[in-house]
């Protein structure tokens, strides 16, 4: 099996895995691999166990994030300067190299060369390559969520228009020079599928995005909020993987058409 084919299978497994699961004895809905709102409005992690502190207050925080419109789906570029800026340069260099060439194919020597820093600075700032990978995922995830949710909120119209507009936003991203797929799907696809380190970071990222999608689905008058949100999540993930493999931004339009067939008010 070639390296490229193995990575492709890994990405598809993550998309398939996004169907989620339910804890024994629980009736808590699972949306796109993430347990979402129970009757009290709390959001839970994919394990079926309530994540501490992720309550209606956190949902409100998700809304705050959604109202901050970022200009790009990536962490901001570093500025020249002191040690703090050196850390930012390392994050930027690692993000570019990990996304373009893969995490396992990129050594720390390549990162520090691209960042123009010493290797000691990398280990002082992140402790290890694994620590750097986690920091990159956290930074890229935060920037992407601010951008994506902000763009959705800026879409004119009601909840249906905003949900469909999400796929227009994706199409713009797919056409960008720096589009190398979802860093979370890529990271999980590269490592042992029994290793939960990066899966948990991916689930935390999904939690914030899917909570807002679920809110919009409810506001659109859809009675099956759980099922419809789950289906939209699959369309989003599937479009990202398809765009990466085909280099065709237009796959987002096909996903948009499919989403439109789901968003028919039923109450």
DSSP the chain: --HHHHHHHHHHHHHHHTT----TT----EETTEE---TT-----TTSSPPTT-SHHHHHHHHHHHHS--SSSSPPPP-SSSHHHHHHHHHHHHHHHHHHH-STT--HHHHHHHHT--HHHHHHHHSSHHHHHHHHHHHHHHHHHHHHHHHHHHSSSSHHHHHHHHHHHHHHHHTSTT----HHHHHHHHS-TT--HHHHHHHHHHHHHHHHHHHHHHHTT-S-HHHHHHHHHHHHHHHHHHHHHH--TTHHHHHHHHHHHH-----
Is 1 part of any domain?
no
Residue 145's pLDDT is what? 94
Asked whether residue 212 is domain-assigned, the answer is yes
Is 125 within a domain?
no
| Whether the predicted pLDDT of 235 surpasses 60 | yes
pLDDT tens per residue across span 59-114? 444 444 444 445 567 665 545 445 457 899 999 999 999 999 999 999 999 999 99
pLDDT, tens digit, for every residue of 135-179?
999 999 999 999 999 999 999 999 999 999 999 999 999 999 889
Task: Answer yes or no: is 16 within a domain.
Answer: yes
User: Is the pLDDT reported for residue 32 higher than 60?
Assistant: no
Model pLDDT for residues 187-222, shown as the tens digit of each residue:
999 988 888 888 889 999 998 999 999 999 999 999
Whether 239 shows a pLDDT value over 60: the answer reads yes
Q: What is the CATH number of the domain that holds 21?
A: 1.10.357
Any domain includes 101: no
Is there a domain that residue 82 lies in?
no
User: Is 84 among the domain residues?
Assistant: no
When divided into structural domains, the chain yields a total of 1
* pTM score above 0.85: no
pLDDT at residue 192 in the model: 81
pLDDT(117) > 80: yes
Is residue 166 situated within a structural domain? yes
**pLDDT reported for residue 266:** 78
pLDDT-wise least confident of 7-16, 43-52, 128-137, 216-225: 43-52
Query: What pLDDT, on a 0 to 100 scale, did the predictor assign at position 191?
Result: 86
Predicted local distance difference test score (pLDDT) of residue 19: 34
Which residue range(s) make up the domain with 242? 9-69+145-262
pLDDT at 28 over 50: no
């Amino acid at each position: 099996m070639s390296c490229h084919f193995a990575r492709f299978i890994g990405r598809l497994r993550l998309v398939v895995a996004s169907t989620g699961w339910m804890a024994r004895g629980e009736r808590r809905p699972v949306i796109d691999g993430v347990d979402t709102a129970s009757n009290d409005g709390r959001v839970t992690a994919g394990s079926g166990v309530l994540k501490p502190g992720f309550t209606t207050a956190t949902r409100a925080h998700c809304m705050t994030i959604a109202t901050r419109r970022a200009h790009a789906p990536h962490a901001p570029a570093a500025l020249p300067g002191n040690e703090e800026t050196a850390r930012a340069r390392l994050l930027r260099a690692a993000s570019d190299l990990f996304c373009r060439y893969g995490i396992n194919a990129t050594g720390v020597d390549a990162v520090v060369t691209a960042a123009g820093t010493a290797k000691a600075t990398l280990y002082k700032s992140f402790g290890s390559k694994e620590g750097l990978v986690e920091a990159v995922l956290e930074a890229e995830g935060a920037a992407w969520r601010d951008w994506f949710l902000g763009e959705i909120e800026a879409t004119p119209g009601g909840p249906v228009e905003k949900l469909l507009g999400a796929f227009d936003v994706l199409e713009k991203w797919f056409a960008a020079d720096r589009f190398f797929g979802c860093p979370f799907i890529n990271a999980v696809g590269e490592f042992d599928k029994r290793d939960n380190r990066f899966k948990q970071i991916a689930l935390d990222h999904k939690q914030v995005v899917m909570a807002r999608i679920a809110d919009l689905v409810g506001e659109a008058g859809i009675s099956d909020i759980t099922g419809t949100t789950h289906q939209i999540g699959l369309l989003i993930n599937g479009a990202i993987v398809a765009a990466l493999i085909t280099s065709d931004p237009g796959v987002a339009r096909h996903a948009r058409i499919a989403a439109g067939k789901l968003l028919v008010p039923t109450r």
